[in-house]
Chain A
Amino acid sequence: MALFNLKINGKSYKADVDGNTPLLWVLRDHLDLVGTKYGCGIAMCGACTVHINGEATRSRVMPVSTVANATITTVEGLSETAEHPVQQAWNEVDVPQCGYCQAGQMMTAAALLSKNANPSDKDIEEAMVGNICRCGTYHRIHDAVKLAAAKMKK
Chain B
Amino acid sequence: MSNIQSRRDFLKSTATAGGGLVLGFSWLTTEAFQPKVLNNTAADLINFNAYLAISPSGIVTIYSPNPEIGQGIKTAFPIIVAEELDADWEKVKVEQSPLDTKKFERQLTGGSGAIRHSWERLRKAGATARAMLIEAAAKQWSVPVSECSTSKGFVVHNSGKKLSYGELATAAAQIAPPKDVKLKATKDFTLIGSSVKGVDNKDILSGKRLFGIDYKAPGMLHASIQRPPAFGLKLKSFDATEAKKMPGITDVVSFANKVAVVGKTTWEVMQARKAVKIEWEKERDLESSADHDRIFKEMLNSNTATVQRKDGDVEAAFKNAYKVIEAEYQCPFLPHSPMEPMNFFAHFKGDSIELAGPSQTPQAAQGQIAKMLNLAPDKVTIELTRMGGGFGRRLNTDYALEAAELSSIIKAPVKVTWSREDDMTGGIYRPAVRYRFKASIDKAGNMTGYMLHGASINAGNSTRQDNFPAGAVENLLIQSNDYKSPITTGPWRAPITNFLAYAEQAFLDEVAMAGGKDPIQFRLELLDKAQQSPVGKITYEPNRFREVTKLVAEKAGWNKKKKGVFQGFSVYFSHASYVAQIAEMAVVKGKPVLKKVYAAVDCGIVINESSARNQIFGAVVDGLGHAMYGNITFKEGTPQQDNFNKYRLIRYNEVPEIEAHFVNNGIDPTGLGEPALPPTGGAIANAIFKTTGKRLYNQPFSEQGATLG
Please list the residues of chain A having a beta carbon within 8 angstroms of any beta carbon in chain B.
1, 18, 21-22, 25, 28-30, 32-42, 44-45, 47, 74-76, 78-82, 87, 90-92, 94, 96-103, 106, 125, 128-129, 131-142
Partner of A37 from the list B266, B340, B611, B618 (CB cut-off 8 Å) is B340
Known contacts: A94-B197, A99-B386, A129-B651. The answer to whether A39 contacts B339 by CB under 8 A is yes
Pair A129/B614 contact, Cβ less than 8 Å: no
Shortest C-beta distance, B56 to chain A (Å), equals 26
**Alpha-carbon distance between A133 and B70 when the two chains are bound, in angstroms:** 12
Q: Compute how far the CA of A54 lies from the CA of B453 in the bound complex, rounded to whole angstroms.
A: 57
Query: Given A34-B214, A39-B339, are A102 and B204 also a contact pair (CB < 8 Å)?
Result: yes
Bound-state Cα–Cα, A9 to B409, Å: 40
B478 on the interface (CB 8 Å rule)? Answer: no
Q: Are B197 and A44 neighbours in the complex by a CB distance under 8 Å?
A: no
Question: Do A81 and B206 form a contact, CB below 8 Å, given A41-B419, A97-B72, A98-B338?
Answer: yes
Within the complex, the shortest CB–CB distance from A27 to chain B, in Å, comes to 10
Check B625–A136 contact: CB distance below 8 A.
yes
Cβ of B474 within 8 Å of any chain A Cβ, yes or no, is no
State whether B202 touches A33 (Cβ < 8 A): no
Q: What would 4 more interface pairs be, CB under 8 Å, given A41-B420, A133-B339, A137-B618?
A: A34-B213, A44-B644, A90-B205, A136-B655
With contacts A36-B207, A98-B338 taken as known, whether A137 is within 8 angstroms of B617 at the C-beta atoms is yes
Q: Which of A40, A97, A138, A142 has the most CB of B within 10 A?
A: A97
Residues of A within 8 A of B222 (CB): 29
- What is the CA–CA distance of A131 and B213 in the complex, to the nearest angstrom? 19
Task: Indicate whether A25 sits within 8 Å of B337 (C-beta atoms), given known contacts A36-B207, A37-B213, A102-B204.
Answer: no
**Residues 592-634 of B contacting A (Cβ, < 8 Å):** 610-611, 614-615, 617-622, 625
Decide: A134 near B338, CB < 8 A? Known: A22-B267, A29-B222, A91-B202.
yes
Interface string of B334-345 (1 = CB under 8 A from A): 000111110000
Distance, CA A106 to CA B620, complexed state (A) = 23
A132 touches B338 (CB 8 A): no
List B contacts of A125 (CB < 8 A): 652-653
Report A33 CB to chain B, min CB distance, Å: 7
If the complex has contacts A29-B222, A37-B388, A129-B653, are A134 and B337 also in contact, measured as CB distance less than 8 A? yes
Of residues B70, B201, B625, which shows the largest number of chain A Cβ atoms within 10 Å of its Cβ? B201
B71: A residues at CB distance < 8 A: 97
Q: With A129-B653, A137-B618 as known contacts, state yes or no: A25 contacts B266, CB within 8 Å.
A: yes
Q: Is B195 an interface residue (CB 8 A)?
A: yes
B166: Cβ under 8 A from any A Cβ: no
In the complex, A45→B643 CA distance in Å?
10
Selected A-B contacts with CB under 8 Å, 27 pairs: A22-B267, A25-B267, A29-B266, A29-B267, A35-B206, A36-B207, A37-B211, A37-B340, A39-B420, A41-B419, A45-B644, A74-B207, A79-B206, A94-B611, A96-B70, A96-B201, A97-B614, A98-B69, A98-B389, A101-B339, A102-B204, A102-B205, A106-B205, A135-B622, A138-B655, A140-B614, A142-B652
Could you say which residues of chain A place their CB within 8 Å of the CB of B389? 97-98, 100, 134-135
- Known contacts A129-B651, A129-B653, A97 near B615 by CB under 8 Å: yes
Task: Name the distance in Å between A61's Cβ and chain B's nearest Cβ.
Answer: 13
Majority SS of interface residues in chain A? Answer: loop
A-B pairs, top 5 by smallest CB distance, nearest first, are A35-B207, A136-B621, A100-B388, A98-B70, A97-B70
Residue of A nearest to B389 (CB): A98
In contact, B651 and A96 (Cβ under 8 angstroms): no
Which of B72, B208, B266 touches A35 (beta carbons < 8 Å)?
Answer: B208
Complex Cα–Cα for A27 and B684 (A): 42
- Whether B367 sits at the interface, judged by CB under 8 Å, is no
Given the known A-B contacts A41-B643, A42-B643, are A134 and B207 also in contact in the complex, defined by CB atoms under 8 Å? Answer: no
Chain B binding surface, main DSSP class: loop
What are the residues of chain A within 8 A of B202 when measuring CB–CB?
Answer: 81-82, 87, 91
**Complex formed: what's the CA distance from A24 to B262 in Å?**
19
How many angstroms from the CA of A133 to the CA of B611 in the assembled complex? Answer: 16
Q: Which of A1, A22, A38, A82 is the one whose CB lies under 8 Å from B206? A: A82
Known pairs A87-B206, A100-B340; A132 contacts B615 (CB<8 A): no
The verdict on B278 contacting chain A, using a C-beta distance below 8 Å, is: no
Partner of A134, one of B198, B267, B339: B339
Instruction: Decide if B206 touches A76 in the complex (CB within 8 Å).
Output: yes
Residue of A45, A81, A128 touching B339 (CB-CB under 8 A) = A45
Given contacts A35-B208, A102-B204, contact A25 B265 (CB under 8 A): yes
> In whole angstroms, how far apart are the Cα atoms of A125 and B208 in the complex?
27
Asked if residues A139 and B655 are in contact (CB atoms below 8 Å), the reply is yes
Contacts of A139 in B (CB 8 A): 617, 655, 658
Residue of A28, A82, A132, A136 touching B644 (CB-CB under 8 A):
A132
Which residues of chain B from 195 to 230 have a CB within 8 Å of any chain A CB?
195, 197-198, 200-202, 204-211, 213-214, 216, 222
Q: For A32, what are the chain B residues with a Cβ–Cβ distance below 8 Å?
A: 216
Nearest opposing residue in chain B for A64, CB measure: B267
Question: Is the C-beta of B513 less than 8 angstroms from some C-beta in chain A?
Answer: no
Q: Mark B441-464, 1 if CB is under 8 A from A, else 0.
A: 000000000000000000000000
Asked whether A38 and B70 contact (CB < 8 A) given A25-B265, A98-B389, A103-B207, the answer is no
Cross-chain contact A94 with B195 (CB below 8 angstroms): yes
**B253: CB under 8 A from chain A?**
no
Q: Determine if B618 and A136 form an interchain contact, defined as CB atoms under 8 angstroms apart.
A: yes
Name A76's closest neighbour in chain B (CB-CB). Answer: B207
Are A38 and B213 in touch, CB under 8 angstroms?
yes
